Structure 1
Amino acid sequence: MLNIIKSILLAFFGISNNRKLSQDDAFVEKHGIKYFLIIGFLVAILLLLTLAILVNFILNLIK
């Protein structure tokens, strides 16, 4: 699972290499894409929640 999270975070920032891509492809071939989708959605939701909390915090400091 840690490798999936790492791959998804690297994909969010656009950083990857061919070796990691082939490892991810082999994992998807063996287990399917559902793990990448689930964790990807969770990471995206966490990112959005973090940004919303940060913006609210900054706006409250300005007031």
Structure 2
Amino acid sequence: MKLYHIISSVLSAFFGVQNNKKFKEDEDFIEQNGVKYFLIAGFFIVVFGIIVLRSLVGIIVD
């Protein structure tokens, strides 16, 4: 599974718009490789989102 697919799956999970086919693919990947790739991608996406929100608030407030 490519990095793009992992990131898109994590973003889909954040917004709750995952379809059943993609969910099954992710489930198979997790059974084979573990959940660590999804956790790492999720962590970086959350950190990136916090940085973006802080920047936007800083721009708006100033």
Once the two structures are overlaid, the 10-residue window that deviates more, 37-46 or 8-17, is 8-17
Deviations along 1:13-45, one digit per CA (max 9) or x if unpaired, are 111111010000000011110000001000000
TM-score normalised by length of structure 1: 0.91
Identity %: 43
RMSD over aligned Cα, in angstroms?
A: 0.6
Where does the alignment leave 5 or more consecutive residues of structure 1 unmatched? none
Structure having the higher Rg = 1
Segments of 5+ residues of structure 2 without an aligned counterpart are: none
> Which position in structure 1 is the counterpart of 2:12?
10
Runs of 4+ in 1 over 4 A off after TM superposition: none
Count of aligned pairs: 60
